[in-house]
C-alpha cells in the first residue's frame, strides 16, 4: 500500500497562510484561498488586505499558466527573524522566487526594493534548503508603467539575484526570463518545503520578534554542537518556578561566549512575563545604557507599526512607557530601590545582563557619595541588588547573564563580587551555576571556593552557551579574536582556517578603500559602520574624532538616508556604544593605543600632546577588552584599517602602526590594495 505524501499545506503549516502545488493553486477556488489566508491571520482582515490578496491571486494565476504543476506557491510566508511575511513565494525549476507586491503602486521605492532584497537574503542565509538554490527577489508595483525593457539579471556571489522590478503586466515575462536564464539543477519542491529554518537574528530583531509574540525556538538556530537556547531558557524557567513553588530565593548564573545569546535568554524570560499582575512578573536590567535605549526605542516603534498594521493605531509615547517598564537601566532600578527603603520591588524576577560589569564596592560607594548624597554607603552593586530582591518575604529569583572578557570600564567588579556577596550576606539563597564559570575569561577563579560551604549550590551544563550566533557565517570568529589578542599564533591560524571561506576579514591602510569594501559587500538593509576604541585619540587626521558624542539610537536604528546613521560612515562608535549589539559588516579602525611590538601588545593612552604607557594591569585589561568588543561586532565580515601614520608627526609615526599591520597580515588576513 502506497502512503500518500504530505501536502504542501501540511509541510508548511505555521510557516505560510496558504500553500499548494502550482497545479492545485490553479484549481482552487479563489474564495477557498482567501478563506485560508484570513483564517490563518491573527489580525482582523481589513477590506484593503482582502483586495490585495484578491489582486495577487489573479496576477499569479495568469503568471503561472503553463508552469510545472509540481512547483510550490505560498502566500504570506513567515520570516520570523524579521517579524515579517513574504507576500508570495514560488519554488519552480532551480529558482526560489520571492515576491513583494505593492498593489496599486506606480513606482519602485528604495525602501521596497530593500525589503524584498532582505527577504531573499534571509532565505539564502537561514533556510537550509535554500543555501544552494538561486534566490530571485522581485518587487511588483502593480500599476507601474511598462518601460518595455528586458530584465537585467545579475547574480551575486551567493546566487542571490539583485532585485528585479515588474508590474502586473510584465511579471510573467520577468519570471519566465529568470526561469530560462537559470541553469542550476531543479529543486524538489517537497524537499525544499521540508527544509529547516535556522535564523540568527540580531539582538534588536530578536527582541522585536519575542515582544511580538514569537517563541525563542522560532528565532534561534538549532545546532547539533551547541546547547539549544530553548534548553537554557527552560533551565532558567525551571529555577524560577521552583523558587516560587518552594518559597525560596534563587540566583542563576548563565555563561556564554560573545554573541552566544545570553541577552536573548534574558529577553525571552522577560517578554514572557511582562504582565504586572503576574506573580512571575520580570524585569530585564542592564548597565549598558546604549543597549537599553536602542532596545526600548526599537520595541516601541515596532509596537506602533504592528498596531497600525492591525488597524489599532497606538501612540509612540505610550509604547515607550510600556517597554521601559520591563527593560530598564540597572542604575534606575537601583535608584528606585534606594527611594523605597525596605519595600521590595514589584518584580519577583530580575534578569541582569552582563552581570560581571556591575560595580565593585569602591566604585559604588564613590558614586553614591558624589551623586546621591549617601556618605556611608558600604555595599558593592551586586550586594545591594541582591539585597533589594531579598526584601521579598516569600520568594525571588535573580538571573545573572555573564559574558567573558567584556569588562571595559573602571570599577567593573567581575562575577566574583556576586559570589562574595552571596557567601557573606545571603547564605539561604539557592545558587545555580554554569560549570564554565571556572574558565579564565569569566575571572570567577578562586571566588568559586567561597561557595564550597554554601548550603544550596547546583551546577547545570545547560546554563552555558558555547557557540556564538552573532556570526551565522562563522561561529569561531570569537576564538580567532581571542587568539589574536593573546598572541597565540598557532590558535589564530587554526581558527582562521575555519572562518576564512565564509567570513571575510580584510586588511588595509587606507580608510577610503575600507569604506568602498563595505559598500560593495552590504546588500539590502544590511547595516555597516565604523567602530574604534574610545582611546583612539590620534585618528583625527582620518576624520574620526572619538570626542564626538554619537547618539546610539540614531546610529543603530536610523535608515541609510540619515546622515546620523552608521551607514554614512562619518561618525564612529566606540566599544561603549556597540557592546552587546551587532552590525552586519564592520570597519575597525586601529589606533596607537593598542599596538603590537616584538614583545607583544603594548597599552598606551594619549595625554596632552603625547602617548603615555599604561602600566596598571586593570587598565590594560580594559583596553584589550575594548578591542575584543570591536573585533566581534560584525556578523558577516569586517575590514580592519591600520593607518600608515606620518613621519612628520611623532604622535602618528609609522613605527606606531607598522608592526600591528604586519602582525595581522602574518595571520593570513587578506590585504586590500
Same domain flag for 179 and 239: no
Task: Supply the pLDDT for residue 504.
Answer: 95
**Within a domain: residue 246?**
yes
Task: Specify whether the CB–CB gap between 82 and 205 falls below 8 A.
Answer: yes
Task: Give the helix/strand (H/E) hosting 206.
Answer: helix 203-211
Average pLDDT over residues 421-425: 90
Task: Specify whether the CB–CB gap between 651 and 670 falls below 8 A.
Answer: no
**Within a domain: residue 157?**
yes
**Within a domain: residue 202?**
no
Stronger pLDDT, 465 or 97, i.e. the higher one: 97
DSSP reduced 3-state for 668 = coil
Same domain flag for 161 and 15: yes
Q: Domain boundary at 401, 432, 465, which?
A: 465
**Within a domain: residue 644?**
yes
**Within a domain: residue 581?**
yes
Task: Specify whether the CB–CB gap between 477 and 468 falls below 8 A.
Answer: yes
Dist. CA 56–CA 76, nearest whole Å: 11
Average pLDDT over residues 238-264: 90
Residue 1, pLDDT > 50, answer: no
The size of the chain, in residues, is 673
Neighbours of 132 (CB within 10 A): 13
Same domain flag for 540 and 659: yes
Same domain flag for 351 and 443: yes
The fraction of the chain above a pLDDT of 90, given in percent, is 64
Task: Supply the pLDDT for residue 600.
Answer: 95
Task: Supply the pLDDT for residue 438.
Answer: 75
Same domain flag for 186 and 264: no
- Name the residue range of residue 623's domain: 477-671
Give residue-wise pLDDT tens across range 590-606: 999 999 999 999 999 99
**Within a domain: residue 1?**
no
Interhelix angle 289-309/203-211, nearest 10 degrees: 50
Residue 250 in grid coordinates: 534563587
Residue 276, pLDDT > 90, answer: no
Same domain flag for 455 and 499: no
Task: Supply the pLDDT for residue 558.
Answer: 95
Q: Domain boundary at 432, 465, 498, which?
A: 465
The CATH number of the domain holding residue 663 is 3.40.50
Give residue-wise pLDDT tens across range 137-154: 999 999 998 765 567 899
Average pLDDT over residues 269-290: 84
The CATH number of the domain holding residue 71 is 3.40.1350
Residue 651, pLDDT > 60, answer: yes
Residue 549, pLDDT > 80, answer: yes
**Within a domain: residue 307?**
no
Q: Where are the beta strands (DSSP E) in 557-667?
A: 572-573, 583-589, 594-597, 600-607, 610-613, 634-641
Same domain flag for 421 and 544: no
Same domain flag for 418 and 539: no
Q: How many domains does the chain have?
A: 3
Residue 389 in grid coordinates: 530582591
Task: Supply the pLDDT for residue 225.
Answer: 38
Stronger pLDDT, 515 or 362, i.e. the higher one: 515
Averaging pLDDT over each range in 212-216, 420-424, 514-518, which range is the top one? 514-518
Dist. CA 560–CA 114, nearest whole Å: 11
Give residue-wise pLDDT tens across range 147-184: 655 678 999 989 999 999 999 999 999 999 999 999 88
Residue 340 in grid coordinates: 523605597
Task: Supply the pLDDT for residue 469.
Answer: 66
Same domain flag for 511 and 367: no
> How confident is residue 446, by pLDDT bands cut at 50, 70 and 90?
low
Q: Which residues pair with 505 in a beta bridge?
A: 638
> How confident is residue 224, by pLDDT bands cut at 50, 70 and 90?
very low
Task: Supply the pLDDT for residue 407.
Answer: 59
Give residue-wise pLDDT tens across range 308-342: 877 788 899 999 998 988 899 988 898 888 888 78
**Within a domain: residue 31?**
yes
Stronger pLDDT, 150 or 227, i.e. the higher one: 150
Q: Domain boundary at 439, 465, 491, which?
A: 465
Same domain flag for 139 and 39: yes
Task: Specify whether the CB–CB gap between 21 and 190 falls below 8 A.
Answer: no
Residue 206, pLDDT > 60, answer: yes
Q: For cell 560549570, what's the residue?
A: 435
Same domain flag for 569 and 645: yes
Same domain flag for 532 and 660: yes
Amino acid at each position: 500500500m502506497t502512503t500518500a505524501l504530505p501536502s504542501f499545506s501540511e509541510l508548511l503549516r505555521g510557516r505560510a497562510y496558504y500553500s499548494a502545488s502550482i497545479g492545485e493553486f490553479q484549481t482552487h477556488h479563489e474564495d477557498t484561498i482567501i478563506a485560508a489566508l484570513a483564517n490563518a491571520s491573527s489580525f482582523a482582515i481589513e477590506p484593503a488586505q482582502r483586495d490585495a490578496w484578491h489582486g495577487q491571486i489573479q496576477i499569479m494565476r495568469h503568471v503561472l499558466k503553463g508552469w510545472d504543476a509540481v512547483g510550490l506557491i505560498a502566500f504570506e510566508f513567515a520570516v520570523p527573524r524579521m517579524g515579517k511575511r513574504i507576500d508570495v513565494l514560488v519554488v519552480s525549476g532551480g529558482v526560489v522566487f520571492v515576491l513583494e507586491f505593492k498593489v496599486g503602486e506606480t513606482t519602485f521605492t528604495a525602501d521596497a526594493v530593500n525589503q524584498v532584497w532582505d527577504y531573499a537574503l534571509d532565505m539564502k542565509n537561514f533556510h537550509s534548503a535554500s543555501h544552494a538554490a538561486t534566490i530571485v527577489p522581485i518587487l511588483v508595483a502593480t500599476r507601474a508603467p511598462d518601460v518595455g525593457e528586458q530584465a537585467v539579471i545579475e547574480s551575486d556571489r551567493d546566487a542571490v539575484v539583485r532585485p528585479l522590478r515588474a508590474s502586473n503586466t510584465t511579471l510573467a515575462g520577468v519570471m519566465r526570463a529568470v526561469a530560462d536564464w537559470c541553469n542550476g539543477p531543479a529543486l524538489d519542491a517537497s524537499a525544499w518545503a521540508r527544509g529547516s529554518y535556522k535564523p540568527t537574528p540580531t539582538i534588536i530583531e530578536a527582541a522585536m520578534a519575542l515582544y511580538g509574540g514569537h517563541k525563542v525556538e522560532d528565532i534561534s538556530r538549532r545546532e547539533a554542537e551547541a546547547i539549544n537556547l530553548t534548553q537554557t531558557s527552560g533551565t532558567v524557567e525551571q529555577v524560577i518556578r521552583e523558587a516560587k513553588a518552594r518559597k525560596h530565593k534563587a540566583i542563576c548564573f548563565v555563561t556564554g561566549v560573545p554573541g552566544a545569546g545570553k541577552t536573548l535568554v534574558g529577553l525571552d524570560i522577560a517578554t514572557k512575563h511582562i504582565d504586572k499582575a503576574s506573580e512571575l512578573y520580570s524585569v530585564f536590567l542592564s548597565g549598558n545604557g546604549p543597549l537599553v535605549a536602542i532596545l526600548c526605542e526599537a520595541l516601541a516603534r515596532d509596537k506602533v507599526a504592528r498596531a497600525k498594521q492591525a488597524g489599532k493605531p497606538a501612540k509612540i509615547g505610550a509604547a515607550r512607557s510600556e517597554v521601559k517598564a520591563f527593560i530598564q537601566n540597572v542604575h534606575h532600578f537601583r535608584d528606585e530601590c534606594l527611594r523605597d527603603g525596605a519595600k521590595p520591588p514589584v518584580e519577583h524576577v530580575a534578569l541582569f545582563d552582563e552581570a560581571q560589569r556591575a560595580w565593585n564596592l569602591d566604585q559604588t560607594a564613590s558614586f553614591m557619595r558624589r551623586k546621591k548624597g549617601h556618605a556611608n554607603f558600604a555595599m558593592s552593586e551586586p550586594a545591594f541588588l541582591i539585597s533589594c530582591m531579598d526584601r521579598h518575604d516569600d520568594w525571588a529569583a535573580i538571573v545573572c547573564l555573564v559574558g567573558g572578557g567584556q569588562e571595559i570600564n573602571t570599577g567593573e567588579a567581575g562575577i566574583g563580587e556576586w559570589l562574595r556577596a552571596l557567601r557573606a550576606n545571603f547564605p539561604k539563597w539557592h545558587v545555580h551555576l554554569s560549570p564554565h564559570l571556572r574558565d579564565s575569561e569569566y575571572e570567577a577563579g578562586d571566588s568559586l571556593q567561597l561557595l564550597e560551604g554554601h548550603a544550596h549550590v547546583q551546577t547545570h551544563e545547560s546554563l552555558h552557551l558555547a557557540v556564538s550566533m552573532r556570526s551565522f557565517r562563522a561561529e569561531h570568529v570569537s576564538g580567532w579574536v581571542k587568539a589574536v589578542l593573546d598572541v597565540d599564533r598557532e590558535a589564530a591560524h587554526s581558527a582562521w582556517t575555519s572562518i576564512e571561506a565564509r567570513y571575510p576579514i580584510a586588511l588595509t591602510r587606507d580608510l577610503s578603500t575600507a569604506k568602498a569594501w563595505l559598500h560593495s559587500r552590504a546588500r539590502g538593509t544590511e547595516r555597516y559602520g565604523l567602530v574604534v576604541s574610545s582611546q583612539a585619540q590620534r585618528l583625527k587626521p582620518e576624520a574620526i574624532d572619538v570626542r564626538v558624542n554619537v547618539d546610539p539610537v540614531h546610529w543603530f536604528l536610523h535608515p541609510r538616508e540619515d546622515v546620523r546613521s552608521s551607514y554614512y560612515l562619518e561618525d564612529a562608535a566606540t566599544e561603549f556604544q556597540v557592546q552587546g549589539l551587532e552590525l552586519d559588516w564592520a570597519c575597525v579602525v586601529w589606533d596607537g593605543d593598542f599596538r603590537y611590538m616584538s614583545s607583544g601588545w603594548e597599552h598606551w593612552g594619549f595625554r596632552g600632546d603625547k602617548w603615555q604607557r599604561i602600566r596598571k594591569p586593570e587598565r590594560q585589561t580594559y583596553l584589550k577588552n575594548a578591542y575584543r568588543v570591536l573585533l566581534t561586532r560584525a556578523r558577516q565580515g569586517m575590514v580592519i584599517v591600520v593607518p600608515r601614520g606620518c613621519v612628520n608627526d611623532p604622535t602618528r609615526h609609522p613605527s606606531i602602526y607598522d608592526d600591528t599591520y604586519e602582525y595581522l597580515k602574518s595571520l593570513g588576513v587578506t590585504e586590500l590594495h
